[in-house]
């Protein structure tokens, strides 16, 4: 839902100051109200606010703080508010500072302050908003984990088709060693798997309830914070009430994890942009993810990838924003903390859209195997393979072999020649220059070093582009993705079970009224 759609929900401003008994002048100018308001940032946690309020009311009823009739009346109106919201019928008073008084006002207007005003007993907006935000973030963690998992599946599927698609690997943006496109894709997949690991660890710290901590130092009412945590699907509570309402480390950590992931996406985007250029020329980005120049007819610009790269700055900026926001604040709630939601939402939205975009783009990307092979042969990416082969065949030190091959390459560069079988004479000459003797090695022993595919098949170290190893890696990564899917599903199921439990309690109470077990009077 965009801002224009939400604007339709808001009537002309009212200036009633329901919570401002302490102030002599309860009405504010539109300018001040707008400055203080976080309504637009709070819109996305509206449903979480309703569910948190319902759990709180049920707990108050079970603790004997609210009567069954009072709780049922409040719950009925909270359900009505939720239904009105889903049907775009809820009128929001923009003069209110945030979403919490919007919900309370809805209930109070229908039940009167004598009953509706009891809903907020034993809590504060300070613990209330943190409950809402944590509920929202945990859902987003589950959703993003699912998205990243899908992106990795796309990469693995693509890798399976390119296990023997040789291409240059780069250091310092210079051709370094020969590798394969599958090897690159699996390197991306492994970095994204660590992003998921960070998200899973983050989830454990996010999914703790601050509800019931009240404003700062708890409440004199005998509430059960464990019960509201259970009803809302939290895995425990933030025990210390100051910590529960003050800390934003979970929000900072969320953005930090998102920033790392977005940076990984940016690096992938940069590689794909480079490889799609005329200078590299072995990769083509799908047309639907590109744009054209308004003046140059030949241009096909990788705009989707450039925006992934560019929007990474937004996420990194959000991290800096929130860190500098909280660095100098004293303990306890301060209004500055209201501003932590906006960078959090922006970071979440940016990362989710970028992850989805890259998944779609990679799914239909085209690789020119011949162009990649031509680039490999044009460079000297088998030089290390040649040096290692010389060591194995002759027993000389690697440094000596390094010098011989390096001298050989220098000669080839001058002649603008390739590193192939025809370069054997240059190698023999380099051997004489470095060691002062004739080479004991013959051409057939080195022949495989000049064949790119045979070269990668000779790699023995774990994690190399050896096709046999890559196939085994793919098999293991698929198992890992299945385990992630199971863990993510379990978390989602736990939340749904808590929602079901909450809903069943609510419906049971409303049913009791309907059956006339206690009187219902509406103000």
| DSSP helix/strand/coil, 284 | strand
**Calpha distance 253→261 (Å, rounded):** 12
Residue 508 lies in a domain: no
- Domain holding 147, by residue range, is 126-372+470-495
**Calpha distance 478→139 (Å, rounded):** 24
Q: What is the pLDDT of residues 247-283, one digit of tens each?
A: 999 999 999 999 999 999 999 999 999 999 999 999 9
How high is the pLDDT of residue 522? 43
Q: What is the pLDDT of residues 184-233, one digit of tens each?
A: 999 999 999 999 999 999 999 999 999 999 999 999 999 999 999 999 99
How far does Cα 296 stand from its chain's mean position?
A: 36
Residue 520 lies in a domain: no
Same domain, 115 and 149: no
Same domain, 117 and 150: no
> In terms of C-beta density within 10 A (0-12 exposed, 13-18 middle, 19 or more buried), how is residue 284 classed?
middle
**Calpha distance 243→440 (Å, rounded):** 73
**Calpha distance 161→154 (Å, rounded):** 11
Residue 194 lies in a domain: yes
How high is the pLDDT of residue 26? 58
Residue 500 lies in a domain: no
Same domain, 253 and 401: no
Q: Which of 365, 141, 158, 156 is nearest to 261 (CA)?
A: 141
Same domain, 399 and 490: no
Q: Which sequence positions are flagged as catalytic? A: 172, 293
Same domain, 162 and 294: yes
Residue 409 lies in a domain: yes
**Calpha distance 292→290 (Å, rounded):** 7
**Calpha distance 430→415 (Å, rounded):** 14
**Is 388:316 a contact under the CB 8 Å cutoff?**
no
Same domain, 330 and 191: yes
Query: β-pairing, 366-367 with 283-284?
Result: antiparallel
How high is the pLDDT of residue 412? 95
Same domain, 304 and 388: no
Neighbours of 389 (CB within 10 A): 21
Same domain, 318 and 263: yes
How high is the pLDDT of residue 17? 40
* 506 torsion bin: left (phi>0), alpha (psi -120 to 50), beta (else): alpha
Q: Residue 133 sits in a domain of what CATH number?
A: 1.20.200.10
Per-residue pLDDT of the chain (523 residues; tens, 9 = 90+): 444 454 444 444 333 445 555 555 557 777 787 787 777 788 999 999 999 999 999 999 999 999 999 999 999 999 999 999 999 999 888 778 888 889 999 999 999 999 999 999 999 999 999 999 999 999 999 999 999 999 999 999 999 999 999 999 999 999 999 999 999 999 999 999 999 999 999 999 999 999 999 999 999 999 999 999 999 999 999 999 999 999 999 999 999 999 999 999 999 999 999 999 999 999 999 999 999 888 998 889 999 999 999 999 999 999 999 999 999 999 988 888 888 999 999 999 999 999 999 999 999 999 999 999 999 999 899 999 999 999 999 999 999 999 999 999 999 999 999 999 999 999 999 999 999 999 999 999 999 999 999 999 999 999 999 999 999 999 999 999 999 999 999 999 999 999 999 999 999 999 887 765 555 444 3
**Is 320:228 a contact under the CB 8 Å cutoff?**
no
Neighbours of 66 (CB within 10 A): 24
* Residue listed under structure tokens 């001058």: 414
Count: domains in the chain: 3
- Helices 249-275 & 181-206, crossing angle to 10 degrees? 170
Q: Residue 9 sits in a domain of what CATH number?
A: 1.10.275.10
pTM for the structure as a whole: 0.91
Pair of tokens at residue 15: 């200036």
- What is the full DSSP assignment across 320-353? HHHHHHHTTPPSS--GGGGGGHHHHHHHHHHHHH
Burial 200-239 (b: 16+ CB within 10 A, else e): bebbeebbbbbbbbbebebbeeebebebbbbbbbbbebbe
Same domain, 115 and 144: no
Same domain, 422 and 447: yes
How high is the pLDDT of residue 515? 64
**Is 439:427 a contact under the CB 8 Å cutoff?**
yes
Same domain, 141 and 104: no
Same domain, 99 and 218: no
């Amino acid at each position: 839902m965009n801002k224009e759609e939400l604007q339709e929900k808001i009537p002309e401003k009212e200036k009633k100051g329901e919570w401002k008994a302490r102030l002599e002048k309860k009405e504010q100018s539109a300018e001040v109200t707008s400055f203080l308001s976080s309504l637009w940032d709070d819109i996305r946690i509206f449903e979480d606010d309703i569910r948190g309020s319902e759990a709180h009311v049920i707990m108050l009823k079970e603790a004997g703080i609210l009567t069954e009739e009072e709780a049922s009346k409040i719950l009925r109106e909270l359900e009505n508010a939720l239904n009105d919201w889903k049907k775009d019928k809820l009128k929001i008073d923009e003069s209110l500072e945030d979403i919490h008084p919007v919900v309370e006002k809805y209930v109070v207007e229908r039940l009167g302050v004598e009953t509706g005003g009891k809903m907020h007993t034993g809590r504060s907006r300070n613990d209330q908003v943190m409950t809402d935000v944590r509920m929202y973030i945990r859902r987003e963690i589950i959703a993003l984990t699912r998205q990243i998992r899908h992106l990795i599946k796309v990469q693995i599927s693509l890798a399976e088709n390119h296990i023997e698609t040789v291409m240059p690997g780069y250091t310092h943006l210079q051709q370094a060693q020969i590798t394969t496109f599958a090897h690159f894709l699996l390197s991306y997949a492994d970095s994204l798997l660590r992003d998921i690991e960070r998200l899973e660890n983050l989830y454990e710290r996010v999914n703790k309830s601050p509800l019931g901590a009240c404003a700062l130092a708890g409440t004199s009412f005998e509430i059960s914070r464990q019960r509201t945590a259970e009803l809302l699907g939290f895995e425990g509570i933030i025990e210390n009430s100051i910590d529960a309402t003050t800390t934003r480390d979970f929000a900072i950590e969320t953005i930090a994890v998102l920033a790392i992931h977005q940076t990984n996406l940016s690096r992938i985007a940069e590689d794909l942009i480079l490889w799609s250029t005329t200078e590299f020329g072995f990769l083509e980005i799908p047309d639907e993810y590109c744009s054209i120049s308004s003046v140059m007819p030949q241009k096909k610009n990788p705009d989707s990838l450039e925006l992934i790269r560019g929007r990474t700055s937004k996420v990194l900026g959000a991290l800096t924003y929130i860190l500098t926001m909280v660095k100098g604040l004293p303990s306890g709630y301060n209004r500055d903390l209201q501003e932590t939601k906006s960078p959090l939402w922006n970071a979440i939205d940016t990362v989710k859209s970028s992850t989805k975009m890259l998944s779609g783009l990679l799914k239909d990307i085209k690789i020119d195997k011949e162009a990649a092979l031509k680039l490999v042969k044009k460079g000297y990416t088998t030089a290390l393979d040649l040096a290692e082969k010389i060591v194995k065949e002759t027993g000389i030190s690697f440094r000596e072999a390094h010098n011989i091959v390096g001298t050989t390459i220098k000669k080839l560069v001058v002649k603008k020649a390739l590193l192939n079988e025809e370069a054997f004479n240059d190698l023999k000459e380099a051997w004489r220059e470095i060691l002062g003797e004739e080479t004991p090695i013959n051409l057939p022993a080195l022949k495989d070093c000049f064949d790119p595919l045979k070269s990668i098949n000779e790699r023995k170290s774990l994690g190399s582009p050896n096709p046999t190893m890559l196939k085994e890696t793919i098999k293991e990564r698929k198992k890992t993705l299945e385990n992630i899917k199971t863990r993510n599903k379990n978390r989602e199921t736990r939340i749904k079970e808590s929602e079901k439990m909450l809903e069943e309690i609510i419906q049971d109470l409303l049913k009791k009224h309907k059956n006339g077990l206690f009187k219902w009077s509406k103000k």
